Structure 1
């Protein structure tokens, strides 16, 4: 039992240690003695800036990782994620539409548009890939990236046309520098959505095996597919509204965890959530200390690390696939050879059969 949860325990301990450390990383110096003495300025920094930022980081890491895990299972492809499935691009378009037609809308008003457009964009992507006859492991995410680029092009065109580029730039590049008390609480929506994903984890596994398999087991395929994609879209939209675009988290984290823990969602959800939060937290700490006292956008750090890891995973998956195909071909050749020999022996007399065997 202890061996089974060893990786989960290690990730939880590392996350706890780095979470405490991140509270003391920043432009303004904080120390434990001043907090213990009741320094109002130090307590204000902690409650208004540092703690909300930490909570937003943890929710972002957990949410985007779980969203990627669900999308990969439902689309039956390890390279599908909110980044390669046009979910993030659709949420950005929704925010721009809210800024154009409801310029005085609150953060929650923009979030509603982001939710709607993210759900719609994700569903269009899934509807499209379901009609692709040849679902290569690389073809599906490439289609999603092209679809996302089309949506991104529309967003950029509208932003330039209506002179909204400056206003939209906050949501195009992910960063936690503007996360303050009163401006980040939307990410708390991720908590009930992740709980809902845990409840339906086994259903997502079954739906990922195909429509016919789901119907044979009595699982409502269309409803579970809609539920999973809606959870994914709402998690992504809530992150984009508060933090902005952060790529690769939903792509690389589930893949890394699945290498060590397998592909069953319920067995990997805890490790995926913890590792996702840990990955985002490490990237955020790096972004704060590289050019201190200035700060880099976390999208830059995640993009660099994520690109390197993504290329490595792509090469690993393709190499693993070639080896698997080669093994299958060798087995087929051996089986066909044995079948041919058996047919030749069956036509011989019993004495010749015995001599040919020996």
Structure 2
């Protein structure tokens, strides 16, 4: 007991120090996001009493909503990726590689064609239903394939996502909506202003629910037999997890478009550093997902300022490089 207490003390201090550093870094990124842009924002405007101050309006109505949207979307997509990896029992899947994002985009296309007058929340609901159907289809296809390698799972997801994306592109081409489709497919926070991001708070609620149910989803990821032996309803858990993933994906796609690699890279980085304890990992995944998304957005705003590169494009480049680094590291560890 004494040895355990002596070990727990330094471990707890290290964990507290790591959390403090992560939160300070996230706060610094948020401040940088508020300060970076075409308009020169001075912090004195925060305490300005003038309602006509253009700089204060830029800060309140554009920069703050954009920063909040980055935090909400990044953390939600990272946790959704972690949840999808548990349900598929594979570390190389995420909503953008199993057809979930593409299905949500198809749902948005259907609403724009047949019911463009629907309010935004109704369009999000339709996109969530399509995303749920796409995720369920992926798991159904996966259950009917003999998996000889872990790489078969992401390959199946990419093929399914490609088929759905091809069908969506064909429909968009027929109705001259290719440009609209590209806007939904590539994440971009440049249009976020006050009143255009509030739907992401719903994704925050779904993310919090996933955090509280992390243990149950972990058990579901161990297989139907294991979950049933513990007295859990496996099918209900899977559908709950798919519902969270679909809701989060639909909220993000409708608001800012698809953001690739967040749900794939972040859980794997956290797993390499922290370990496989999902209950402890989920908060780290949320924080790192928000930080990575915000860092990529800042990079896109600074590279060709005063213009900017969409965060989806920057995340595609950065995420692919990080993913290759993870693969090479795992290969060296396996070889060693």
Normalising by structure 1, we get a TM-score of 0.87
Pairwise CA distance, 1:8: 2.3
Structure 1 SS opposite 2:279: helix
Is residue 254 of structure 1 aligned with residue 285 of structure 2? no
Aligned residues between the structures: 323
Shift of 1:318: 4.2
Match for residue 92 of structure 1? Answer: 105
Describe the shift of the 1:139–1:277 C-alpha distance in structure 2 as closer, same or farther (beyond 3 A).
Answer: same
Q: Equivalent of 2:23, from 7, 12, 22?
A: 12
1:30 aligns to what? 41
Whole-angstrom CA distance in 2 between matches of 1:204 and 1:8: 24
Task: Evaluate the alpha carbon distance shift between residue 137 and residue 18 of structure 1 in structure 2; reply closer, same or farther with a 3 A threshold.
Answer: same
Deviation at 1:321, TM superposition (A): 4.5
Q: Is the 8 A contact 2:48 2:56 kept in 1?
A: no
1:83 offset after TM fit, Å? Answer: 1.4
Equivalent residues of 2:99, 2:160 under 8 A apart? yes
Determine the structure 2 residue equivalent to 1:146.
Answer: 159
Larger radius of gyration: 1
What residue in structure 1 maps to residue 3 of structure 2? none
The answer for the alignment partner of 2:9 in structure 1 is none
Compared with structure 1, are the counterparts of its residues 322 and 206 closer, same or farther at alpha carbon in structure 2 (3 Å cutoff)? farther
Residue matched to 1:270? 283
CA contact (8 A) 1:201 1:266 kept: yes
Aligned partner (choices 185, 200, 203) of residue 190 of structure 1: 203
1:322, distance to aligned residue in structure 2 (A): 5.4
Among 88, 91, 99, the residue aligned to 1:75 = 88
Q: What is the deviation of 1:310?
A: 1.4
Inter-CA distance 321–313: structure 2 relative to 1 (3 Å threshold): same
Moved more, 241-250 or 162-171: 162-171
Per-residue deviation, 1:107: 1.9
Q: 1:38 to 1:9 in 2, by over 3 A?
A: same
Match of residue 32, structure 2, among 21, 25, 29 = 21
Structure 2 CA distance, aligned partners of 1:169 and 1:209?
A: 37
Note the C-alpha offset of 1:133: 1.3
1:42 maps to which residue? 55
Q: What do residues 173-225 of structure 1 show as CA deviations (whole Å, max 9, x unaligned)?
A: 11100111111111111121111112211101111111111111111111111
Rounded to whole Å, the distance in 2 between the matches of 1:4 and 1:294 is 40
| 1:144-173 per-position Cα deviation (integer Å, ceiling 9, x unaligned) | 011000000000000011112223222121
Q: Distance in 2 between matches of 1:73 and 1:64?
A: 14
Q: Following superposition of structure 1 onto structure 2, how do residues 1-358 of structure 1 map, counting pairs within 5 Å?
A: 1-39=12-50, 40-321=53-334
CA distance in 2, matches of 1:17, 1:192: 25
Look up the SS of the partner of 1:296 in the other structure: coil
Unaligned runs of 5+ in 2: 1-11
User: Match of 2:294, SS?
Assistant: helix
Instruction: Tell me the C-alpha RMSD between the 2 structures.
Output: 1.4
Shift of 1:29: 0.8
Cα shift at 1:5: 3.3
